[in-house]
Chains A and B, each alone.
Chain A
């Protein structure tokens, strides 16, 4: 029952924050931090446990909470990131009104996600899923203004997804007579393939929407960019990964390997979608000029990698997918937090064209952002490298070079937009209006520091997380990977981080020594520049405006978010249609009487002539 008490504790805590916050403003922050930390601690202490409990009966369904390695890893990530972003919120939300509401919802989201990963049956999975949806809606709307359409988009997509999932669950229930995950996995083999595919499609819509797989991605960019930054971190880091969790649960826990391998057509479709999800958003990210929107598109693309990993279905790819989930959670959260710090200090400016040169003012944030970007690109010695390496390798060796191409080219796109982000915020000229920008406060630095450390740590010692992941994929029925502390051993190409680390270190030291031996350089002002003799006015002395101008020109002509346009068009069409429909209520009683008699007459006429009833 400990799981149940934990959830109850968390929910009560969330309410407590709200009501305490109304009367004692200081307490709510302390409470929020303490509760989220305790949650993290609880989950961490549950390591290695494997059990499930029946905590509630709902309309004849037994609801379970369960924990095992698979859910533990996700739960840990959720509570950890939740904790960090609440710490980050302390200063981010300081001056905002109504932050008790914010903290409460923040905890709601975390608890709901915790509930999702701890759910032992599909009904409680769904319930927590919905709680997550609406609390997220409230949080996205929090900043008002342009956040409102964004959250509308989110919630509408979300409702579509969750309802299709509900249908899927109930359909599955009709076929198997159970919704308990551990039982489903035994029974599902007796179901015919067509039904399984139908269920998979229904679930895929739900998970695909949450995971922002193209063509269901359109809610994500506005939602991520408009949400408060600490929450963007959660949103991007873990919330959308609930889709990943769902896919893993569906494919490998419920349906199981021996069936999923026979659904080749389906997996191919999903893989292709994943590939599109990698390439398309990557290039759209390059075109963005809003820091958070850029990161949002990047999230879509990275979610594509994860999706690719888990739908490709080899042990390497699944391990890579799960690992990339973990990594992405960390580095994307870090980057959102860093952007959040910038936003906090510049009072809400995130437009890449008007920033620049912040490295002098906020060096720590720069470092965090750089590490995050390196992880995002997947440079060796950061965590992103290992997970991407696993995915590429299996894609290449299992004969899917085109998918691998998508993944690799996506990485190059990643470099472009990551560099744009870093360059336009931190490098280049510092505009005069930002002369007095302060450093990020400690409560912002601390989460960023922790996350950066983890990126490097996992990058050098990928064996540690991979061991957990190994256990998960073994529980899915795969062979374990041959994991060492520093990498992976396999017959078709090994990975050994320690070599790279050692070489880098040695070369680095040598080069630095070499560099030091040269004549000492002189530090100069940012305006002390070589401009080939031409005069450039100060305010124009910065090349941030449309950084990739040639590429923009090239891509803008054909690269648009057609799917979003399509959705918006159809929404407008539906609105128009709805407006037309209600014109039947004309306001004239005579027509209403006509409807009534028409109804009666038609019924009689039909029955007289054809006896249909």
Chain B
């Protein structure tokens, strides 16, 4: 059963990730008043990349990208997708937080081995940026975990379904807002498109990736979109819950299906919002971005955490 769920969630996440990538390009194009590529274009790209020539810089160059992808996929298993959760009871949010590290680290190793200065600069920027939004993210997670008195993501989702979505509860609205504010940064969208700035440092970490490396990188990218948003939905929007309307069929196949659908819809909504932001803002410099994150979202998140702690 578990293995089935694993495979299912892997497929869902991969597909959704690809879909998000395509969707992003599509929406951007529409904002730019163009027609844009078809929504399945990223998938086509991936397949195409696979058959192109690629250069390798060494063993870690290969291994890094694989680790990165393993990391991303692994996180997916720990996320409850609607009612589907493979092993969200193996360590909970803390494990997620840790496995989230794997992906950037693998990428960093891989591009580090490539010995391209642009890649190194990109990695350096990416890590710094990550560090800064991680400040906020950690506080957000801590407020949730303190509020719900558990470290299991699944339980957090269930508790939301039983009471009220975190985003709607006045205690947790501040963390929610903070999360939304750092969401573009987590997705690597403008105004936080600093690490992978294609014009400035030739797409940063992925500069040396070509062929199947680029393919894996694209998949990874999609997965990261998926994970970031799925995490938000799980944490703040009650996961696959819709005001308890479908509580009656929970536990059945259809219940799971419905909740999954609801889950995905929520995700798409959030994603679209982020893409709009991406389209509107210009790119910030790293210092600006860091400062921004450390001023506004962080202070909001800290206030949120203080409220939570004070009330408990």
Contacts and interface: CB of A to CB of B under 8 A. Distances in A.
Interface stretch (A463-471, A473-481, A516-524): A516-524
A518 B50 contact: yes
A427 B117 contact: no
A530 to B, nearest CB: 6
Given A423-B112, A511-B66, A532-B202, A405 B74 contact: no
Contacts of A515: 62, 66, 212, 216
B309 interface: yes
Contacts of A359: 58, 60, 113
A542 interface: yes
Interface stretch (B135-143, B183-191, B261-269): B135-143
A423 B120 contact: yes
Contacts of B6: 503, 506
A416 B127 contact: yes
Nearest to A391: B94
- Dominant secondary structure of chain B at its interface with chain A: helix
B250 interface: no
Interface residues on B, range: 35 or more
Given A357-B115, A529-B115, A428 B54 contact: no
Interface string B45-61: 00000111111111110
Nearest to A518: B212
Given A413-B131, A522-B55, A543-B117, A401 B90 contact: no
Interface in B132-170: 134-135, 138-139, 142-143, 145-146, 149-152, 155
Given A508-B70, A524-B57, A428 B115 contact: yes
A448 B284 CA distance: 43
Interface stretch (A302-310, A377-385, A604-612): A377-385
A527 B130 CA distance: 29
Contact of B112 (A399, A427, A499): A427
B90 A495 contact: yes
Interface in A545-560: 547-551, 553-554
B180 to A, nearest CB: 20
Given A401-B305, A493-B91, A542 B149 contact: no
Interface in A407-439: 408-409, 411-413, 415-416, 419, 422-423, 427-429
A578 interface: no
A495 B151 CA distance: 11
A192 interface: no
Given A379-B102, A551-B128, A427 B109 contact: yes
B56 A419 contact: no
Contact of A409 (B101, B116, B135, B212): B135
Interface residues on A, range: 35 or more
Q: Which of A385, A512, A519, A528 has the most CB of B within 10 A?
A: A519
A157 to B, nearest CB: 31
A532 B118 contact: yes
Given A385-B98, A408-B138, A500 B90 contact: yes
A519 B52 contact: yes
A401 B146 contact: yes
B162 to A, nearest CB: 17
Nearest to B67: A508
Nearest to A392: B94
A589 interface: no
A522 B87 contact: no
16 contacts: A392-B151, A401-B139, A404-B142, A411-B98, A423-B120, A427-B120, A494-B91, A495-B91, A500-B95, A504-B74, A507-B10, A522-B54, A524-B56, A524-B57, A528-B55, A530-B208
Given A397-B150, A507-B10, 9 more contacts: A379-B102, A393-B94, A412-B135, A419-B127, A423-B112, A493-B155, A500-B95, A529-B208, A548-B127
A-B residue pairs, 7 tightest by C-beta: A518-B212, A427-B112, A543-B120, A521-B56, A521-B54, A543-B117, A493-B151
